[in-house]
Amino acid sequence: MYIRRVSRKNKNGTTTAYLQLAHNEWDPKAKYAKAKVIYSFGREDEVDRAVLERLVQSISRYLSPEAALEAQHAIGETAEFLFQSSKRLGGAWMLHQLWHKIGLDAILETLFADRKHQTSIERLIFSMVANRALNPSSKLAMEDWVREEVFLPDLAEVRSQQLYRAMDELLDVQSQLEHQVYCAVSDLLNLEVDLLYFDTTSSYFEVDPFDVPEGESFRKTGFSKDKRPDLVQVVIGLAVTREGIPIRSWVWPGNTSDLSVVDQVKKDLIGWKLGRVISVTDRGFVSEENLRTLQKTGGHYIAGEKLRSGKEATEAAMSRKGRYHHVRENLQVKDIVVGDGEARKRYVLVYNPKEAERDRARREQTIDQLQAHLAELKQLNGQAHTKAACQLRSHPTYGKYLRQLKDGTLKLNKQAIRDAEKYDGKYLIRTSDDTISAEDVALGYKQLVDVEDAFRTLKTTLELRPMFHRLEDRIRSHILLSWLALLLVRIAEVKTGETWNVLRKDLDRIHLGHFSSKNGDVHQRTEMTAKQRKIFAMLEIEPPPRFLEIQPKA
């Protein structure tokens, strides 16, 4: 390890020299050793070379096997280098590199170019996004997290009030940010946006419903998908590509119906000029009015249909005879058209043999249990018999397989069992697009699970809920930050094929150590494993350098 001097000729004819910390590495292809730069100190005329040489000698001795062994037995001030602290590095470094690769730093710096702050708004926003992905906490807790626990490039500390101001300013540029992020991500990942999957969820607040600010029309009680109807909530929507990348988020008052948001979502996405967009929605969105909305301005839809909806067209589609076509393992499809002219409707009936076996096994287990309950029922009489019979009739699973005779006796409903067999392993999809293949219809609807996975990541890994913000703007900004965190997380998952929990666990083992000596301070990362290096390689980003900072003392 040595100090290397390099020079560069300027346009005015002068020469500027720079000092670097380097060491020689053998190049097996070239068959000779090449200099590898470890750290750049800057211009020669701005640093004290003698101080640098003393520090480099200390580092070299400390890094040699003999000196390292000797250092293990050194105590207190007798050690040449003292280990001052350690911070988690890997996860934050990876998020920072992805953030830069997408261009989020440049986008935010441009949007906030006319706003002067002591600390960069872009860095404050990144810190909140990184915290949401790595260690979700309150803004007050983030002060210690940034200062003591994690290394964030170009950000040594934050104050909670700075973070709240950054949240307020982020909301001012939301529209431009969302569009520019979409364009940047589309270019980087070459996203296919002919199929967009949309769904909604709800998220609640741990506050007294009577403590909601007077006049607020945002946090409301409503149908809770979190099964907390007792708490006020908001409704959140996500549009996700077939690769599972969330390209946009929405938030509405907590009492908003799913069926009332489609028109806004459609208008917002058309404004982005995405070209041919097919909206894929679940069965909760299916109504004739809603489907017509999805078809406005030339759009199309793929929507799930309830098998037991009782609709005449649905029954006709289910009873239509014909052979299934094998498209993939455990995936067979049947293309069906019901009606003529403007009244015609296209359906795709999907059959999964493996899922059919599971449905059949679950039903047989249910029938066995039900027969056992009926046998027990015969041993009872009086009020105990009446109560047990009522419980069986009203049971959500057992009840549909029972019939009651005129004398009140409960029997198995064999016709209901035969009817249930017709639906094993099947689901029905409706589409307005006649040009897309039945296979793409089936696979497109199947990918709707990516939206559900995204919501699950938001609520669990990124800990979106519960939320404690009181102001509507802060709520909207909180969800916007969570969407940015989800965007980075999903890109990392898609690129590596690993879950975020696995990635975060592996990368958080990379630490940054702070070592001090009489000659200066050194900030050095821990050695990386082969798996950690592979993660960075798959993401096509640079891993953290061995030395992040070297500070000589005069």
Most confident region among 8-22, 346-360, 509-523 by mean pLDDT:
346-360
232-262 per-position pLDDT tens digit: 788 888 888 877 788 888 888 877 776 677 7
Give the pLDDT confidence score for residue 26 in this predicted structure: 77
More confident site: 152 or 42: 152
More confident site: 503 or 408: 503
3-state SS of 271-308 is CCCCCCCEEEECHHHCCHHHHHHHCHHHCEEEEEECCC
**Does residue 451 surpass a pLDDT of 80?**
no
134-150 per-position pLDDT tens digit: 988 889 999 999 999 99
> What's the burial of 435, exposed, middle or buried (CB within 10 Å: 0-12/13-18/19+)?
exposed
Structural contact between residues 36 and 8, judged by C-beta atoms closer than 8 angstroms:
no
| Integer Cα distance of 407 and 62 in angstroms | 92
Give the pLDDT confidence score for residue 68 in this predicted structure: 41
206-217 per-position pLDDT tens digit: 655 555 555 555
Q: Is the pTM of this model over 0.75?
A: no
484-541 per-position pLDDT tens digit: 999 999 999 989 999 899 999 999 999 998 888 887 888 889 989 999 999 999 999 9
**Does residue 224 surpass a pLDDT of 70?**
no
309-352 per-position pLDDT tens digit: 778 888 888 888 889 999 888 889 999 999 888 778 899 999 99
* Confidence category of residue 468, pLDDT binned at 50, 70, 90: low
| Integer Cα distance of 536 and 549 in angstroms | 21
Structural contact between residues 225 and 202, judged by C-beta atoms closer than 8 angstroms:
yes
Looking up tokens 């489907």 gives: 291
**Does residue 291 surpass a pLDDT of 90?**
no
285: Cβ–Cβ under 8 A, 6 or more apart, which residues? 258, 259, 262, 303
> What is the CB-side half-sphere exposure of residue 243 using CA atoms within 13 A?
21
Looking up tokens 């001097």 gives: 5
| Integer Cα distance of 245 and 454 in angstroms | 9
Average pLDDT rounded to a whole number, residues 100-109: 94
| Integer Cα distance of 484 and 454 in angstroms | 12
177-217 per-position pLDDT tens digit: 999 998 888 877 777 776 777 777 777 666 555 555 555 55
Cβ atoms within 10 A of the Cβ of 194, count?
16
Radius of gyration for the alpha carbons in the chain, expressed in angstroms and rounded: 31
**Does residue 425 surpass a pLDDT of 70?**
yes
Cβ atoms within 10 A of the Cβ of 489, count?
26
Q: In the chain, pLDDT over 70 holds for what percent of residues?
A: 82
Largest CA distance in the chain: 109
More confident site: 67 or 468: 468
Omega into 466 within 30° of 0, i.e. cis?
yes
